[in-house]
């Protein structure tokens, strides 16, 4: 037999012995299947999830948040009130947090703001004191839909924040022009840490006059609180319409001080 053929046969024999030995070692020391071994095994539905492991995370199927309108008006103090109407078309998902960007029409000034929104909600986001760059006349608003912190709300219940006796009154002290006054009632079974009351004023042609807000801290279940949304300067037009929104972030755990009875406003 040719020497080269013998060498090949000998090498193949040694290789077979080496592979067999390695296989024996592997099966002796092979780790038991687990839920963190990075392998889809032991009847798992996905890699390390489902079956005997924790359920696989469900893919979030949602529609993007929508900007319905953007309005801007001079606040009389060198800045502007920007009032943005945002819509969440999703019934089962809200956003614990999302970002939107305001940029003037010349592209010279861009600012990032953070908001939240509840399922199927249309809400105002109000930015006060926004300063336009020289020569700019309007603004554009965009939402970073890729960065939205979506939260599923399967058995969602409204926070039950109710407004009574809303009205606009001119200030008697002279330090401010006027204020939106009203009564906020917490009709839920939850003590909320932070509630924001947003107010929008319009003229008889539904044109924006001004927007502002007040933050109320610690409102127990069943309690009520008078609020005052301040407008510092004369707005220059007669006020024909007042819009009020009371909001609280139900996705923020720190916002729940105490819950009367069972459950809360969000079963995830």
CB 124 within 8 A of CB 113: no
Question: What is d(CA 193, CA 219) in angstroms, rounded to the nearest whole number?
Answer: 6
CATH code for the part of the protein at 66-152: 2.60.40
Mean pLDDT value across residues 177-203: 94
Q: Which sign, positive or negative, has the C-alpha torsion 84, 132, 195, 176?
A: negative
What is the rounded average pLDDT for all residues in the chain? Answer: 84
pTM of the model: 0.74
Map tokens 């592997």 to a residue: 26
CB 94 within 8 A of CB 148: no
For 64-148, list the strands marked E by DSSP: 66-74, 80-87, 93-104, 110-117, 122-130, 139-143
Confidence of residue 268 (pLDDT cuts 50, 70, 90): very low
Question: What is d(CA 143, CA 116) in angstroms, rounded to the nearest whole number?
Answer: 12
pLDDT, tens only, 54-112: 777 666 688 999 999 999 999 888 899 999 999 999 998 999 999 999 998 888 767 89
Q: 161-259: which CATH architecture?
A: Sandwich (2.60)
CB 44 within 8 A of CB 37: no
Q: What ranges do the domains of the chain cover?
A: 66-152, 161-259
pLDDT, tens only, 3-61: 666 665 666 666 767 666 666 666 666 667 777 767 787 776 777 677 767 777 666 68
């Amino acid at each position: 037999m040719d020497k080269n053929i013998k060498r090949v046969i000998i090498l193949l024999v040694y290789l077979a012995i080496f592979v067999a030995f390695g296989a024996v070692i592997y099966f002796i020391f092979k780790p038991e299947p687990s839920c963190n071994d990075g392998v889809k095994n032991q009847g798992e539905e996905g890699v390390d999830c489902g079956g005997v492991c924790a359920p696989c995370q469900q893919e979030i199927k949602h529609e993007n948040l929508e900007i319905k309108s953007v309005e801007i008006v001079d606040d009389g103090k060198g800045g502007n009130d920007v009032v943005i109407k945002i819509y969440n078309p999703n019934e089962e998902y809200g956003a614990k947090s999302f970002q939107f960007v305001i940029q003037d029409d010349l592209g010279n000034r861009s600012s990032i703001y953070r908001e939240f929104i509840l399922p199927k909600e249309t809400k105002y986001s109000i930015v006060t004191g926004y300063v336009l760059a020289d020569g700019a006349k309007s603004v554009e608003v965009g939402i970073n839909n890729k960065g939205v912190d979506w939260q599923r709300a399967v058995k969602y219940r409204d926070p039950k924040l109710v407004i009574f006796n809303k009205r606009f009154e001119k200030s008697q002290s002279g330090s401010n022009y006027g204020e939106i006054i009203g009564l906020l009632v917490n009709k839920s079974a939850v003590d909320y840490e932070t509630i924001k009351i947003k107010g929008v004023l319009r003229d008889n042609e539904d044109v924006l006059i001004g927007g502002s807000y007040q933050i109320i801290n610690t409102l127990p279940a069943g309690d009520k609180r008078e609020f005052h949304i301040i407008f510092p300067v004369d707005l220059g037009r007669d006020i024909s319409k007042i819009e009020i929104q009371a909001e609280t972030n139900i996705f923020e755990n720190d916002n729940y001080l105490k819950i009367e009875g069972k459950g809360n406003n969000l079963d995830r």
